[in-house]
Amino acid sequence: MTESQGTTAQEAQATLLFVDDEANILASLKRLFRPQGYRILTAESGAQGLEIMARESVDLVISDMRMPEMNGAQFLERVREKWPETVRILLTGYAEIGATIEAINRGQIYRYISKPWEDNDVTLIVKHALQQKMLEQEKQRLEELARRQNEELKELNANLEERVKARTEEVRQTMGFLEVAHEKLKKSFITSIRVFSNLIEMRNERMRGHASRVAEMARSLAQHMGMGPVEVQDVFVAGLLLDIGKIGLPDYLLEKPFTTLTPKERSEVVKSPVNGQMALMALEQLHGAAQLIRAHREHFDGTGYPDRLAGLEIPLGARILTVVSDYEAAQTGTLLTRRLNRADALAFIRDNAGKRYDPAVVAAFLKNGIHAKGETELVLGSHELLPGMELSRDMVAQDGLLLLPKGTVLTEGRIEEIQFFERSGRKLVIYVAAPKT
């Protein structure tokens, strides 16, 4: 099959209009193109051609240059004015070069064909013209799709409170929407991931901001350890969505340290990395992040879960996330039976190098001071509070009672009241603004 014969179904459905005052020329063109499967229309003058154009949807028009009353240049100029998307081709003789140039300038024609023509050349010109038109139409369709999706994304971000109730399905549907979004929406895509990360954390006050801090520290550590841009991006996205597999867990399990779980509770929790991976596997561009989410609870000595991987079998991105997320969780009280301050959390990470954690990752984490970079708030115990510190979040008791609002500047008296409250057996998570350096 020659290139001229390889007409696609979409091209074959195209409508062609031939305009010429010579019946034999029209007959020749019809004989040439009818076997290609095109829909053929003919007109014996420019005026008749315009009448047909007014009532028919025409994809491509071929017009002779020399016609009475309205020549080809004038006719194609009118076509351009009224139907600019129609492809315009001019038939002309060698002696009509001046008029041909005028037609090119005024009618903005796609090509001109000299008479007499070669059949194969003409069919190829028409085929290529229709292909170009199809590409232009597809480009316009994709641009319109991207515009609509951008508007939908803005509306989604403006109605987050209504989206909380549809947690798991919301994430999947919106991620599916983002998968088909245009490359120009990449920035909005990352913004939406941040938004959904926040939605996951809205179930547990203690975890507010946890994912963002983990993602930022993990990205910085991945860069320090020489990972490539795509891998760093996977680490960052995985950090934001690290707990997506816990969406289906009861609220009380979100706060219990793993070591305090009953066998039945533990069997549910160990499924969360796999559930997190499965929730994202439908999105091809999140496959890398999904694999890191599955492996982030593996331990360097092989005692982790779900696959009992050990050492370098664990992806580097997952080894990084394990160190960073445990450092954060140790300070919020969701890793161990007691909440650690920053120094003790760092000591815990250091002491478990070679056991829970990759020694190389721990060394990079401690050496580069990543745990102290870019922090806007600290998680402290009541005994670590100092006068002049400012609350970066509302101080809320476990039963939801607001004790002190965000922005409160602590005094010695306030600190004593907080410490007395904790001595009564009620545990607090206290967030204060990090000191400016």
Domain presence at residue 110: yes
**Which range in 148-157, 183-192, 196-205 is most confidently predicted, on average pLDDT?**
148-157
Measured from the Cβ of residue 77, the count of other Cβ atoms closer than 10 Å reads 19
Range scoring the smallest mean pLDDT among 4-13, 114-123, 215-224, 283-292: 4-13
Which residues on neighbouring strands pair with residue 39, listed in sequence order?
A: 15
State the Cα–Cα distance between residues 258 and 434, nearest whole angstrom.
Answer: 29
- Give pTM, 2 decimals: 0.46
d(CA 298, CA 304): 4
* Helix extents (H) in 114-185: 119-158, 160-163, 167-179
CA distance linking residue 261 with residue 282, whole number of Å: 31
Q: For position 249, what pLDDT does the model report?
A: 77
In total, how many domains does the chain have?
3
344 lies in some domain: yes
420 shares a domain with 406: yes
Same domain, 108 and 217: no
Contacts of 352 (CB under 8 A, 6+ apart): 362
pLDDT at residue 307, rounded to an integer: 94
Establish if 381 belongs to a structural domain. yes
- Condensed to tens digits (0 to 9), the pLDDT of residues 375-391 reads 566 777 788 889 999 98
Residues 124 and 246 in one domain: no
Query: Do 308 and 389 belong together in one domain?
Result: no
320 and 225 Cβ atoms separated by less than 8 Å: yes
The reported pLDDT for the residue numbered 426 is 75
Which is nearest to 220 in space by CA: 339, 327, 347, 313?
327
- What CATH code is carried by the domain that includes residue 386? 3.90.105.10
Domain boundary among 123, 138, 153: 138
Q: How far apart are CA 133 and CA 11, in angstroms?
A: 10
What the block records as the tokens of 388 is 């002049």
User: Region 339-363: what's the mean pLDDT?
Assistant: 90
Say whether pLDDT at 195 is over 70: no
Q: Is 190 inside any structural domain? A: no
**Residue 61 phi/psi, 5° resolution?**
-125, 135
The CATH number assigned to the domain holding 306 equals: 1.10.3210.10
Instruction: Quote the mean pLDDT of the chain.
Output: 81
CA–CA separation, 29 and 13 (whole Å): 17
DSSP at 368: T
pLDDT score for 6: 47
**What is the residue range of 420's domain?**
376-437
pLDDT tens digits for range 4-28 = 444 555 555 899 999 999 999 999 9
Instruction: Record the tokens describing residue 241, joined without a space.
Output: 């969505």
